[in-house]
């Protein structure tokens, strides 16, 4: 179960240090020799894009992705258009920060017809592809665990994300594999093979038993039951060799001083990924 | 979204009134004209099988199922055999209570190899089929929501349950469809068609947003986002016309006086199933 991943692939997904500003997170990464960061848009909004860009560029950090675009389903056409416009802003921010990948959390259904929302997701992504191409930003569909189907994403499995990717027929679109969301899936390894060449991100955390919470339910690698190295090796075998984001949404970790979290994260990464 | 189901199909899954003994639940069903009950084994154990049988038979209630067998994976062969032996006792109890269906909650993995546990589940079910045939008890594989994959069942989708059923090749084995566990699945309606003729049970509750809890997260029908009538019509179209169990695991409902719960349940059933 013990991993042997190269620590130079470590990226801090900024939600792991939710109580830190972007400046604190960037400084923390530099201080702890963490080579990359994944930036969240609500943290960009706090200080503005220009200042965010300056912080990132002067730090020398890689930006593994920007979180997040998506949230396509909405009850009216004008609301859906507003979501699409917001996704274009997210694409611009991604390009400005020098990142190649915008992560798409596709959004929940506004009614009981989940299949209709899946169509809106497809239409939404389709409509932003030309702009993403123009900006040089890849769109990574991240399937979320089915326990988030009602409030975060109607795209719930890697198989579904792959089918969506295939139906869009664009190399601008791929998938993001997050072990917390996909570990349970009986078709996981087949679908990682199907995603070959289209994997745009790999996120790690762990599933502790019992789960401490639903939204804030993730734990540091090694504390749970996910066979992380096996999933990592599968995504590597299928073409993904880029940064690995540690994305831990957990109140106890948020309440821990950020420097302690980064130390713990580096150790967990080296030992269990 | 409003249902129009026949109330004569209503069955109280006993976990909905967890604070009631079997006698209280049976008396409650009789008092409220609820024609059937699904009996949990820990409630049988409280008073013994003989007394349970007497209670049920003298009440005239139907027994839609017994909950539950399963829990097959275990780290050693002798432990797995002990689980199989316990499943045989569950089959006997089901037959004694005059029910046709034992619900199987297949069990979590004792280690990080979830696929190995899926094999143990298959082996476990296979080994109890002859005894189930002899006792005239059907085995209903209930796929559980993937959020329970780490602590309750490695069988997480209806597709997986159908594949397991098909691989066992026995008409003694079928599936149980619980809307709370399967509503999110992009392949739900296809898999209900695949299950045609093999559906041994149908359970209802609802998924409220935000979910109040993980294990105790279910709500009364009508309080959440599941399109229950659509799923009911699909299982009916594919051959299931028997009792519909209301299975609500929710602390607030458990803390409500049972008679109030039964009234609420009947109204919710008539309006939203």
B146 contacts A185? CB cut-off 8 A: yes
* pLDDT attached to residue A166: 98
User: What is the distance of C-alpha A173 from the center of its chain?
Assistant: 14
- β-sheet bridge partners, residue A66: A39, A102
- The arithmetic mean of pLDDT across residues A152-169, rounded, is 98
* pLDDT attached to residue A4: 79
- Is residue A2 pLDDT above 60, yes or no? no
Measured CA to CA in angstroms, residue A69 lies from A66, B64, B160 at distances of 8, 46, 32
Q: For chain B, what is the mean pLDDT?
A: 97
Q: Are strands B244-246 and B101-105 parallel, antiparallel or unpaired?
A: unpaired
Quote the percentage of chain A above a pLDDT of 90.
99
> Cα distance from A188 to chain B (closest Cα, Å)?
11
Q: Does residue B109 lie within any of the structural domains?
A: yes
pLDDT in tens, A103-131: 999 999 999 999 999 999 999 999 999 99
A209 contacts B150? CB cut-off 8 A: yes
B184 contacts A149? CB cut-off 8 A: yes
pLDDT in tens, B202-213: 999 999 999 999
Q: Does residue B1 lie within any of the structural domains?
A: no
Q: Does residue B159 lie within any of the structural domains?
A: yes
If residue B37 lies in a helix (H) or strand (E), which one and from where to where? strand B36-40
* pLDDT attached to residue B4: 79
pLDDT in tens, A189-239: 999 999 999 999 999 999 999 999 999 999 999 999 999 999 999 999 999
Structure tokens at A151: 């409030």
pLDDT in tens, A22-43: 999 999 999 999 999 999 999 9
Locate the DSSP E strands across A165-214: 173-178, 199-204
The answer, yes or no, to whether the previous bond of A272 is cis (omega within 30 of 0) is: no
CA distance B149 to B153: 5
Q: Does residue A1 lie within any of the structural domains?
A: no
Helix axes A49-59, A22-31, angle to 10 degrees: 0
Cβ proximity of B157 and B182 under 8 Å: yes
Q: Does residue B2 lie within any of the structural domains?
A: no
Q: Are strands A173-178 and A138-141 parallel, antiparallel or unpaired?
A: parallel
CA distance B244 to A10: 50
Cβ proximity of A158 and A177 under 8 Å: yes
Contacts of A112 in chain B (CB under 8 A): 1, 225-227
B226 contacts A184? CB cut-off 8 A: no
**Total number of domains constituting chain B:** 1
- The arithmetic mean of pLDDT across residues A259-270, rounded, is 98
* pLDDT attached to residue B73: 98
A1 contacts B183? CB cut-off 8 A: no
Range of the domain at A223: 7-272
Q: Does residue A173 lie within any of the structural domains?
A: yes
Cβ proximity of A160 and A143 under 8 Å: yes
Structure tokens at A253: 């970790």
> What's the average pLDDT block by block, 10 residues per block, for chain B (273 residues)?
81 98 98 98 98 98 98 98 98 98 98 97 98 98 98 98 97 98 98 98 98 96 98 98 98 98 98 97
* pLDDT attached to residue B1: 43
Q: Does residue A13 lie within any of the structural domains?
A: yes
Q: Classify residue B113 as exposed, middle or buried by CB count within 10 Å of its CB (0-12, 13-18, 19+).
A: middle
More confident: A143 or A3: A143
Contacts of A1 in chain B (CB under 8 A): 112
Q: Does residue A247 lie within any of the structural domains?
A: yes
Q: What is the CATH number of the domain that holds B232?
A: 3.20.20.150
> Cα distance from B129 to chain A (closest Cα, Å)?
24
Quote the percentage of chain B above a pLDDT of 70.
99
DSSP 8-class letter at A9 = G
* pLDDT attached to residue B3: 62
Contacts of A108 in chain B (CB under 8 A): 209
- Closest alpha carbon within chain B to A182: B146
DSSP 8-class letter at B160 = H
Contacts of B108 in chain A (CB under 8 A): 209
DSSP states along B88-126? HHHHHHHHHTT-SEEEEE-B--SSS-HHHHHHHHHHHHH
- Top residue of A159, A225, A226 to mutate, by most chain B CBs within 10 Å, is A225
């Amino acid at each position: 179960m013990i991993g042997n991943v190269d620590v130079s692939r470590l990226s801090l997904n900024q939600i792991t240090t939710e109580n830190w500003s972007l400046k604190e997170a960037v400084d923390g990464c530099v201080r702890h020799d963490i080579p990359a960061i994944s930036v969240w848009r609500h943290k960009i909004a706090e200080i503005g894009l220009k200042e965010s860009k300056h912080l990132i560029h002067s730090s020398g950090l890689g930006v593994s992705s920007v979180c997040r675009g998506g949230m396509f389903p909405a009850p009216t056409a004008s609301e859906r258009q507003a979501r699409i416009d917001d996704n274009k802003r997210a694409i611009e921010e991604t390009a400005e920060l020098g990142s190649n990948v915008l992560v798409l959390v596709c959004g929940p259904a506004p009614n009981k017809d989940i299949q209709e929302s899946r169509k809106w997701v497809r239409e939404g992504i389709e409509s932003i592809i030309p702009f993403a191409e123009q900006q040089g930003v890849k769109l990574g569909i991240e399937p979320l665990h089915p326990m988030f189907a009602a409030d975060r994403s109607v795209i719930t499995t890697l198989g579904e994300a792959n089918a969506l990717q295939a139906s869009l027929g664009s190399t601008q679109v791929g998938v993001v594999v997050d072990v917390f969301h996909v570990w349970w899936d009986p078709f996981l390894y087949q679908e990682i093979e199907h995603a070959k060449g289209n994997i745009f991100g790999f996120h790690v955390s762990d599933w502790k038993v019992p789960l401490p919470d639903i939204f804030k339910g993730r734990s540091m690698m090694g504390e749970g039951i996910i066979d992380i190295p096996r999933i990592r090796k599968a995504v590597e075998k299928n073409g993904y060799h880029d940064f690995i984001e540690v994305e831990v949404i957990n109140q106890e970790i948020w309440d821990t001083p950020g420097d302690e979290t980064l130390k713990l994260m580096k150790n967990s990464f080296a030992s269990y990924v």
